[in-house]
Chains A and B, each alone.
Chain A
Amino acid sequence: MSPLLFWIFAAIMLVFGGMVVIHRNPVASALSLVVSFLALAALFVSLDAYFIGVIQILVYAGAVMVLFLFIIMLLDLKAELRRRPNLPAVCGGFVVIFLFIVAIAEVSFRFQGGDASFQPIAQGPQGDIWHVGMILFQRYNIALQVVGTLILVASIGVVVLSKRELK
């Protein structure tokens, strides 16, 4: 993977990430977020993390954002378009961005471990899925089961809460 591709996809990701905030049309924002996710998936693939990249597309771009779009399309978009940007909020946003950049710069200049390069993990014919599966289902099996139970409880809770009004 050449650095050129990294810069291209990173630029796409950042530009469309910015468009999510800048666009006043919610559908345009949602679609920009999809493109940003796709570029992020490309960055994962460039690190040989095919599995995470494809899950990024499958879950976020393919399922979560479709649901978002689904909800947004049921909204009144005209009202959303008429809203003017709030000046103090914009200024506050820039301040937060500036502080965040300062914090990241501070950390990355102080922390020397970032200079070291590591051996690629996903070697061999099985690829990264095999490694992910081995680590998830052997080393962290208990934690995985606990998280699974938590998600199950949460989804049952959602069903119960959304059914409450029907009684």
Chain B
Amino acid sequence: MMHLLLFALISLIKTIGLIFVIILPMVSYTVYAERRVSAMIQDRLGPNRVGIPLTLFGFQKDIPFFGLVQPIADAVKLLLKEDFTPNHVNKFYYCLAPACAMAPSMMALAVIPFGSQLWGEPMVVANVNIGVLWVFAVSSLGVYGIVLAGWSSNSKYPFLGGIRSSSQMISYELSLALSVIPIFMICGTLNLPEIVRYQTVHGWLISPIWLNGISLFPPSINGQEIMRSFDFLKFLLWIPLFISFIVFTISMFAETNRLPFDLPEAETELVGGYHTEYSSMKFALFFLGEYAAMIVGSAVIVTLFFGGWHVPFLPTTLVDPYTFWGVILGLIHIAAFFFKVALLLFFFIWVRWTLPRFRYDQLMRLGWYFFIEIALVNVFIVAVILPFMRR
């Protein structure tokens, strides 16, 4: 009983620490980054004024602080706005939809290893063998929020947005799941911490140069030792892995409704798409859900392809994780993970402000005619190469 309570307590601390200390602030600062980066790309300044409001306390000037307090001001604005519910909506589902849009992306975080260990405790909330399948399953539930919002709003633009979104997300889930099968064939597991550990030993899956682990101090691991030496087959295997990275990343853009695939909320055609009828905090929940889904998507890409928390040329474990340096190393790994996630988020934003939107039939053709076939052929390529590597 004591053991169970301790387990529950540790899980609770990890969950709260991950969601409230790291992810939610990260979401609001991703919104800030989106505005600043878009401004940079369009040769504007963006929100650079909101700082510490000293004028409220009778001083002459505020401290602008690069506008870094902007997210707090946004949150206050969204909370204090009038929460207007139109008369023609289906009330229960109208209120349910924002929660359905927000919750799945938070749930998907449960299986993602965001660090190696702290005080010997693995930095993942749920270390389960189904790993990435859980992410797919939960994010496939995210479509309910959008569909319900579109339907319960009882007006045409949200409805069109909801319909578009459900067909888009169902189509791209297929290529999303098919494109990562090569990784599981190579690593031999679905467990995300195991996949990261594999990459710490054999090198990141995205990198063509697989030394015996990029780390100088590779730990001993009892796994399948496929890529032991430096040879030609590794380069051959890198090609399908890179293809699967491309397909997975682009499908992730479609799955998170980001531009160039933001058809469910295309402002120029559908006003705002599924959230047209929403205001105040309900609207903010859709907004947060979208950015949280983006962060989860980046985290999955980092975990699968960019070595998760692994830092090249640093040891992955110390003999005693309870010492000062052990804790520092754990913190460095967590920081490295979120640094990689932040870089990918920058990429997401960059793409959004660079590419124009796809047409609906182009989007469907890309998903059904190209990505699914490419992903399937990719699986075959890896299946042909792998027997030669095992020997």
Q: Are B147 and A66 neighbours in the complex by a CB distance under 8 Å?
A: yes
Q: Judging by beta carbons under 8 Å apart, are A57 and B151 in contact?
A: no
> A73 within 8 Å of B by Cβ?
yes
Interface of A is mostly: helix
Does A62 lie within 8 Å of B151, measured CB to CB?
A: no
Asked if B39 CB lies within 8 Å of chain A CBs, one says: no
In the bound assembly, the distance between CA atoms of A128 and B163 in angstroms comes to 36
Task: Among B129, B136, B147, B169, point to the contact of A129 (Cβ < 8 A).
Answer: B129
How many B residues, CB 8 Å from partner? 27
* Residues of A with C-beta under 8 A to B93: 27
- How many Å lie between the Cα of A67 and that of B143 in the bound state? 11
B170 in the interface, Cβ–Cβ < 8 Å?
A: yes
Quick check: A73 and B128 within 8 Å, CB to CB? no
The reply to whether A63 and B134 contact each other, CB–CB distance below 8 Å, is no
Q: Is B277 an interface residue (CB 8 A)?
A: no
Flag B128-144 by CB within 8 Å of A: 1 or 0 each. 11100110111011011
- If the complex has contacts A50-B128, A54-B133, A129-B190, are A73 and B170 also in contact, measured as CB distance less than 8 A? no
A126 to chain B: which residues have CB within 8 Å? 129, 189
Residue of B nearest to A65 (CB): B144
- Complex interface: chain B residues within 8 A of A66 (CB): 140, 143-144, 147, 166, 169-170
Contacts of B151 in A (CB 8 A): 27, 69, 73
Residue B42 at the A interface, CB < 8 A? Answer: no
User: B133: which A residues are within 8 A, CB to CB?
Assistant: 51, 54-55, 58
Q: Which residue of A lies closest to B104 (CB)?
A: A62
Q: Does B354 belong to the interface (CB within 8 Å)?
A: no
Tell me whether A63 and B173 are in contact (CB under 8 A): yes
Instruction: With both chains docked as a complex, state the minimum distance between the C-beta of B378 and any C-beta of chain A, in angstroms.
Output: 19
* Alpha-carbon distance A127/B138, docked complex (angstroms): 20
Kindly state the separation between the CA atoms of A58 and B138 in the bound complex, as whole angstroms. Answer: 8
Contact present for A73 and B129 (CB under 8 Å): no
Asked whether, in the complex, the Cβ of B166 is within 8 Å of the Cβ of A69, the reply is: yes
- Contact check, A129 vs B138: say whether CB atoms are below 8 A apart: no
Selected from A62, A63, A70, A128, the residue in CB contact (under 8 A) with B129 is: A128
Closest A-chain residue to B151, C-beta based?
A73
Using CB atoms, name the residue of chain A closest to B134.
A54
- Chain B hits for A69, CB < 8 A: 144, 147, 151, 166
Q: Give the residue name and chain of the A residue nearest to B147 (CB).
A: A69
Bound-complex Cα distance A128 to B138 (A)? 20
In the complex, chain B residues whose CB is within 8 Å of the CB of A57: 137-138, 140-141
Chain A residues 112-149 with CB under 8 Å of chain B are: 126-129
Neighbour of B137 across the interface among A27, A58, A67, CB < 8 A: A58
In this assembly, does A39 line the interface, its C-beta being within 8 Å of a C-beta of chain B? no
Q: Are the CB atoms of A50 and B166 closer together than 8 Å? A: no
Residue of A nearest to B4 (CB): A2
Interface pair A54/B137, CB less than 8 Å apart: yes
Closest Cβ of chain A to B122, distance in Å, is 14
Q: What separation, in Å, do the CA atoms of A126 and B188 have in the docked complex? A: 9
B184 and chain A: residue at smallest CB distance = A129
A20 is an interface residue with CB less than 8 A from chain B: no
**B323 on interface, CB distance cutoff 8 Å:** no
- Does B229 count as interface, using CB distance less than 8 angstroms? no
Interface flags for B159-171 (1: CB within 8 Å of A; 0: not) read 1001100110110
The answer on a CB contact under 8 Å between A70 and B141 is no
Interface centre among A67, A127, A128 (most CB of B within 10 A): A127
Q: Is A62 touching B137 in the complex (CB atoms < 8 A)?
A: yes
- From known contacts A34-B144, A61-B141, infer whether A54 and B130 are also in contact, taking CB-CB under 8 Å: yes
A58 touches B166 (CB 8 A): no
A62 touches B140 (CB 8 A): yes
Residues of B within 8 A of A54 (CB): 130, 133-134, 137
List, in ascending order, chain A residues with CB within 8 A of B129's CB.
50-51, 126-129
Q: How far, in Å, is A149 (CB) from chain B's closest CB?
A: 16
CA distance A63 to B173 in the complex (A): 9
Chain B positions within 8 Å of A55 at CB level: 133, 137
A73 and B144 within 8 A (CB) = no
Residues from 43 to 85 in A contacting B, C-beta threshold 8 Å: 50-51, 54-55, 57-58, 61-63, 66-67, 69-70, 73
- Given contacts A55-B137, A127-B128, list 15 more A-B pairs with CB under 8 A: A27-B151, A51-B129, A51-B130, A54-B137, A62-B141, A62-B173, A66-B140, A66-B143, A66-B144, A66-B147, A70-B163, A73-B162, A127-B129, A128-B129, A129-B130
Q: State the B residues within 8 Å of A (CB).
A: 93, 128-130, 133-134, 136-138, 140-141, 143-144, 147-148, 151, 159, 162-163, 166-167, 169-170, 173, 189-191
Q: Which 5 A-B pairs have the closest CB atoms?
A: A62-B140, A127-B129, A57-B137, A58-B137, A50-B130
- Can you name 14 A-B pairs with beta carbons within 8 Å? A31-B144, A50-B129, A54-B133, A57-B141, A58-B137, A62-B140, A62-B141, A62-B143, A67-B170, A73-B147, A127-B128, A127-B129, A128-B129, A129-B129
